[in-house]
Structures are given as C-alpha cells and as structure tokens.
Amino acid sequence: MKLPAWARTIRARMAITTSAWLFALSALILLGVYFALSRTIDAAPLDAVTVKRFERKPDGTMVYRPGENFQAADLRSVQQAVNQSTLDLLRNYSLIALAAIFVICLLVGWIVAGRLLRPIGQITATANRLRATDLSQRIGATGPHDELRALADTLDGMLDRLDSAFRAERALVEDVSHELRNPVAVVQANVEAVLANPDATVAEREHALVVISRATARMSRLLEDLLATARRRSGSFADRNVDLHGFIGDVVDEHSLLAAERPLAVVARSSPGPVVYADPESLGRAVANLLSNAIRLAPTDSTVTVAGGSTRGWAWIAVQDDGPGIADDEQPYVFDRFKRASNGDNGSRRGSGLGLAIARQIVESHEGRITLFSRLGEGSTFVIWLPDRAVADGPERAAAPPSECPLPRH
C-alpha cells in the first residue's frame, strides 16, 4: 500500500521518529517506576477477624452480647491494600499518560521538524522557480547559522556564480554576433558587387579582394580570440618551463613580416635567465595580442620593443610602442571585453575587443598579472608579470609584482 504524500516527507519521518524515541523512553521510565514500587508492596489479601462484643457486669463477670459481632483487620494489611490500589491506579494513569505523551510528542515533533526544515522548503521553492533564462532567484534563508543555513548560503553563492557565467555567455554571444556582422556584410557586399558587374576592371576586382582580405583577417583574429577563451576555460593547458629569452625571440620573429608591412621595426631586448612555468601556446597568444595592437597603432618607421627580464622574483615581458597612448580615464577599462580604448586624436582603437581581455585571462590563469603604463602622445607599455621559476619562493620574491614600469623609455 502506497503511503500518502505527507507521510513520505522527511518532516513526517522526523516527527514520527522523535515521537517514537520519546515514547519509548517515557515508557521505560514509567515501567521502571511501576516495577520498583510493585516489588516493595505485598499484595497479600486482607485476613478478616471476627470480633465479639462482651459486657462487664457490676460483679465483674463478662457477659457475651450476641448479634453485636463485627469484622476487623490488621492495620498492616489495610496499609498493604491501600498501596496495591494506589499501584493499580498508577498503572492505569501511566498508560493514559503514555498515550497522551505520544500524541503531544508527535505534534511537537511535527512543528519542530517543520521549523528546522524550513530552509529545505525554501531551497525547493527556489529551485522550482529557476529557469534556464532566469537565474535571478535566491533562497535568502534566515535564522540561526546552522548547517541548513550554510547549505542555503552555499547554494545562493553557486547561483550567483552561475548567473554571472550565463550572463557573460549571453553577452559574449551577442557581442560576437555584432562583431561578425560587419565583416561578413563587407565580404558579402564586395562579392555581390563583383559578381553583379561582369565588366568590372582588374583594379576594381583587386580592390574588392583587398577589402575582403581585411574583413576576413578581422574575422580570423576574432575567431582566434574566441578559441583562446574556449581553450582557457576547458583547462587544456600544457604547462612547462619556458625560457623567456628564447620565447621572446620566437614571438618577435613571427611578427616581423607583419611589422614590415607598416613599415616599422620590432626588436627584442632580453637576456637569458628568467624561466616561467606556463603553457607556451597560450602565453604566446597573450603576447601576440599585445604585439599586434602595438604594430597596428605605432607610427610608421617607429620601433616596437618586446623586452623581458626579472625583478624581485617576478619575470616580466613588456611590449612598448610609440603610438598615441591611452587617456588616464580609459586605462582602467582597456582589459574589459569589447571595451576599445580610443588612442589620441587619430580616433584609432585597440584590438578586436577581445584581445586584451584574453591576454589578461591567460596571464591570470598562470598566477600572473598584466599592467599598463601609458601617456597620451608618448605611447604605451603593456607588462606581463609571472613568477620567476629561477627564483625559489621565499624572501627573494616579493608578494606582488613591482608597481613601476620595468622598461623605461629612452
């Protein structure tokens, strides 16, 4: 037979279990008292004694008076009979009291269990109100800071993190859709223009191809940034010891042709020594994002410097350009996703909107920091700080990276 829904709840089980234990304990106590009293009381029946009445005559003789006999009992026997009667009453009233105790315990247990399990009800109600598109509901448990309150607070914290993650995912999809819309439209418009005009000259076709190439390069950078984000979140890193001297040289070599197209020069300034524990591919992506921004914004015939070193137990990689610089009020936001800082009077803007944010995420995932030193009209210096593996943890390593720029301008 299937029990009703209320009987299958934790509240009902707690109330019944508590009542059963209290009932059993009360029953044992009363039974112990009853048997203890019964062993001290003699339940022997009363022995009646017939008492005859005599009358003394004046001459001293005793004369029996028939018909005036009466029954009498020993005082001890009377006492025993009274005790036995009291014991019987105690037994009867104890049974009634046990039944009342069970009912009262059941009611009290039901009420107390309901109060104790109230956070569970709040958790269930909140979970039922949650939707995939709305994670704003919270339990908001009140009362003493017990285990259930801790559970409710933990779930609220988890919902906060999930809500933030889902909001970030939705914002990312919306922003990426917006970013891809323009280059896709540019590609489509130029392709349709060329196809619709069979008499287009070679120069017109070449111009359309150049425009399409720039648009596809923009989409390629955006997709690479998205892949870096996905790779970071999946945790698919291959960390190992990385020598910064060779690492910086490789990054500069990869961007030499891109810099020559501007034209400008990219130089490496580092010396052997600093070693960091990192994923070379991810760290290379972070430095590449900084370097590609510098190459795009630096004036022609200038020099972009990529340097490395170690200070106070912190290895650093600096990318320095002679571009327009970034205003002080925009510097706190340059690492935000899809926040492009304007650069001086030329109105140019940095990156795809994801590059600097990706760089910061990669660096922070390696227990490092990224800082910016920039002044309008003088250029910018982005510095990546990572723990130097060549320096053991201890007094030689500062708790935080230095606040000053390790690559001064000349």
Residue in this structure with the two tokens 């004369």, named with its chain if needed:
63
Residue 367 counted as domain residue: yes
Based on the fold, state whether residues 244 and 343 are members of the same structural domain: yes
pLDDT score at 316: 94
Q: How many domains does the chain have?
A: 3
Residue-wise pLDDT for 110-157, tens only, equals 888 777 777 777 778 887 877 766 777 888 877 777 777 788 888 888
Q: Which of these three, 208, 228, 248, is where a domain ends?
A: 228
CA distance 388 to 309: 9
Based on the fold, state whether residues 293 and 360 are members of the same structural domain: yes
Based on the fold, state whether residues 383 and 247 are members of the same structural domain: yes
Based on the fold, state whether residues 20 and 43 are members of the same structural domain: yes
Q: Which two tokens stand for residue 191?
A: 């392709």
pLDDT score at 369: 93
CATH code, domain with 303 = 3.30.565.10
Q: Which of 314, 323, 410, 328 is nearest to 372 (CA)?
A: 328
Q: Which of 289, 340, 385 is nearest to 178 (CA)?
A: 340
Residue 91 counted as domain residue: yes
Residue 221 counted as domain residue: yes
53 alpha-carbon distance from chain centroid? 99
Based on the fold, state whether residues 84 and 10 are members of the same structural domain: yes
Residue 137 counted as domain residue: no
- Which range, 73-77, 85-89, 241-245, has the best average confidence (pLDDT)? 241-245
Residue-wise pLDDT for 94-114, tens only, equals 788 878 888 888 888 888 877
- Which range, 174-178, 280-284, 369-373, 374-378, has the best average confidence (pLDDT)? 369-373
Residue 152 counted as domain residue: no
Based on the fold, state whether residues 213 and 257 are members of the same structural domain: no
CB atoms within 10 A of CB 303: 13
| Percent of the chain residues topping a pLDDT of 70 | 78
Could you tell me the residue range of the domain that residue 95 belongs to? 5-116
Residue 130 counted as domain residue: no
Buried b (16+ CB within 10 A) or exposed e, 184-209: eebbeebeeebeeeeeeeeeeeeebe
Based on the fold, state whether residues 96 and 66 are members of the same structural domain: yes
pLDDT score at 386: 92
CA distances from 334 to 144, 269, 342, 350, 373 (A): 44, 25, 10, 8, 12
Q: Which of these three, 116, 131, 150, is where a domain ends?
A: 116
Q: In the chain, count H helices and then E strands.
A: 8, 13
Based on the fold, state whether residues 36 and 110 are members of the same structural domain: yes
Residue-wise pLDDT for 171-217, tens only, equals 777 777 777 887 888 899 989 988 988 888 889 889 999 999 988 98
Q: Which of these three, 183, 202, 228, is where a domain ends?
A: 228
Residue 200 counted as domain residue: yes
SS3 call for 243: strand
Based on the fold, state whether residues 77 and 183 are members of the same structural domain: no
Residue 125 counted as domain residue: no
Based on the fold, state whether residues 95 and 187 are members of the same structural domain: no
CA distance 102 to 107: 9
Alpha helices in 134-277 (DSSP H): 147-196, 202-234, 244-260
Q: Is the model's pLDDT at 273 over the cut of 60?
A: yes
Based on the fold, state whether residues 273 and 366 are members of the same structural domain: yes
CATH code, domain with 216 = 1.10.287
CA distance 191 to 207: 11
Based on the fold, state whether residues 223 and 244 are members of the same structural domain: no
The answer to whether the CB of 314 falls within 8 A of the CB of 274 is no
CA distances from 318 to 118, 253, 270, 393 (A): 56, 16, 10, 23
